[in-house]
Amino acid sequence: MGAGTACDWVRGDILGLMIPGHSAALQECAVEFLTDAFRAGGALAPDNRVIRITQFDDWVVGGAGRKLLLSVVYEKSVPSLPTELFVKFSRHFEDPLRDASRFHMESEVRLAVLSGTPGFPVAVPLCLFADFHRESGTGILITERVAYGTGTIEPHYLKCRDYEMPEQLAHYRALIKALARLAGTHKAARLPDSLEQEFPFNLEKALAGNRIPYTLERLHKRIARYAEFARSFPQLLPQNVRSPGFIERFSQEAPRFLEHELLIRRLLHADRDLIALCHWNANSDNAWFWRNPSGELECGLLDWGSVGQMPISLALWGCLSGAERQIWNDHLDELLAVFVAEFRSCGGKRLDPDEIKSHLLLQVALMGLAWLLDAPLLIEREVPDLRQIVSRFDPRFTVHETSRVQLHIMTNFLNVWDTRDLGLILGSVIHSTAANR
């Protein structure tokens, strides 16, 4: 992005510095900006400064804004001051679709500041500078770089490629425990009082978010499109979610969720004990893993865009949506028990695992209907030679990340619908609500 862009530089709302909107702007005066920014953020002492940039490389993994791998040299070496850095911009000027997600970084910047609180319950990369300009949606986040694959830290696992990850269940136990520690610590009032101001919960906004965007007629058309996708490319889907019997049942049950969407949303937001500060997208690619001295896997979390107070069930879906089907089929109850126990150990109340499970399954239905029924069209557009692909493990899905993710999460959504009988769960909710009137 060359000079002259309206958001080359804007003034950050938090610290008041002029911040760059893209990598070219940063590169023009990186040494000077980083010195001022790190001092303003409290990471760099007044008598120290950045004197040289030794790496300035684009990093193209992931969505939303542009990213950099940055290496710096300080005038005075300080052991606690990282030199291998990760830079994330909110903006992606070359891709309007990704740039539209720029406002997600505002809460991520606030979380970066909060994570510096002593005793913060989840490992987060050390933040050297973060700021955001709300009017334009321009933000920048500079943290230490996670040293994937070095020392005790495991390699980076890519989104929706958990089949390449050893000991999948152990990794999801670590992810679920991290989510529970954050939520439980929040509900135990062990985080700063400013949290309620920085991450307010707005019920009406929550009820209005992530709505199913279809009329009944359009919903039927989306389901018909999926049915055609399943007939045309059966090699990409497990047998149960492409069978005519399942698709017919899905087409009968999905409209009931559309009809009762607001009822379900109110149920999922009714109990404030089940609303907590959460990472909403804790897939394995947004974490790093290591083993503690006892050999147990632990993890830290990154990519905190849209962090905030939300139903615990939404955070659990965000985490488990990228898991392999056997995690859902064989280990869901075990993982929910891990969450409940860790939440309680951090000071939260004793939760009912059956209630959490019911809420999670309802959340799967709503989020799937809202976001995943356009996946077949998107996949066909991005991967033009689908008929030549043998399975979802084809290398072309490595290149086309969006299609891989859409296919995998759509499959999880439909598999949960089939194996957990979501239509029956909705029927129980409707019956219970009618009985309590």
Domain boundary assignment for the chain: 9-144, 162-435
Phi, psi of 68, deg, nearest 5: -135, 150
Please check whether residue 183 is in contact with residue 278, taking contact to mean a CB–CB distance below 8 angstroms.
Answer: yes
At 85 the three-state DSSP class reads strand
Which residues are bridge partners to 132 per DSSP?
139
How buried is 118 (Cβ within 10 angstroms: 0-12 exposed, 13-18 middle, 19+ buried)? exposed
pLDDT, position 180? 98
pLDDT, position 285? 95
Phi, psi of 23, deg, nearest 5: -70, -35
| Helix, strand, coil share of the chain (percent; to 5) | 50, 15, 35
Tokens standing for residue 116: 């510096």
Q: CA 322, CA 342: separation in Å to the nearest integer?
A: 22
Please check whether residue 153 is in contact with residue 146, taking contact to mean a CB–CB distance below 8 angstroms.
Answer: yes
pLDDT, position 75? 98
Q: What is the DSSP letter of 236?
A: G
Tokens standing for residue 110: 């606030």
Which residues are bridge partners to 291 per DSSP?
297
Please check whether residue 364 is in contact with residue 414, taking contact to mean a CB–CB distance below 8 angstroms.
Answer: no
pLDDT, position 3? 38
Q: Please state which CATH class domain 162-435 belongs to.
A: alpha beta
* Residues 342-398: tens digit of each pLDDT: 999 999 999 999 999 999 999 999 999 999 999 999 999 999 889 999 999 999 998
Q: CA 30, CA 33: separation in Å to the nearest integer?
A: 5
Site of tokens 């296919």 = 407
Beta pairing, strands 138-144 & 84-89: antiparallel
Q: CA 404, CA 379: separation in Å to the nearest integer?
A: 8
> Which of 3.40.50, 1.10.287, 3.30.200, 1.25.40 is the CATH number of 9-144?
3.30.200
The set of long-range contacts for 373-378, using a CB threshold of 8 Å and a minimum separation of 24, is 373/214, 373/219, 373/222, 373/223, 373/225, 373/226, 374/222, 375/406, 375/407, 375/409, 375/410, 376/225, 376/226, 376/228, 376/229, 376/410, 377/225, 378/402, 378/403, 378/406
- The number of beta carbons lying within 10 Å of the beta carbon of residue 104 is 20
- The number of beta carbons lying within 10 Å of the beta carbon of residue 60 is 8
Q: CA 345, CA 181: separation in Å to the nearest integer?
A: 8
pTM of the model: 0.94
Number of residues written out for the chain: 437
- Helices 401-419 and 375-382: crossing angle in degrees, nearest 10, is 150
Q: CA 379, CA 229: separation in Å to the nearest integer?
A: 10
Please check whether residue 348 is in contact with residue 342, taking contact to mean a CB–CB distance below 8 angstroms.
Answer: no
CA 376, 162, 101, 315 torsion: positive or negative?
A: positive
Phi, psi of 72, deg, nearest 5: -130, 160
Q: What is the maximal distance between C-alpha atoms in the chain? A: 71
Which residues are bridge partners to 298 per DSSP?
290
The per-residue DSSP string of 146-177 comes to P-TTSTTPPPPPPTT-GGGSSSHHHHHHHHHH
pLDDT, position 62? 62
pLDDT, position 59? 86
CA 356, 358, 361, 366 torsion: positive or negative?
A: negative
Tokens standing for residue 85: 């850095």
pLDDT, position 95? 82
Q: What is the mean pLDDT of each run of 10 residues along the chain (437 residues)?
A: 62 96 95 98 96 94 82 96 97 86 92 93 97 96 97 95 97 98 98 94 94 98 98 98 98 98 97 97 97 95 94 98 98 98 98 97 98 97 92 92 96 98 94 81
pLDDT, position 434? 79
Please check whether residue 333 is in contact with residue 169, taking contact to mean a CB–CB distance below 8 angstroms.
Answer: no
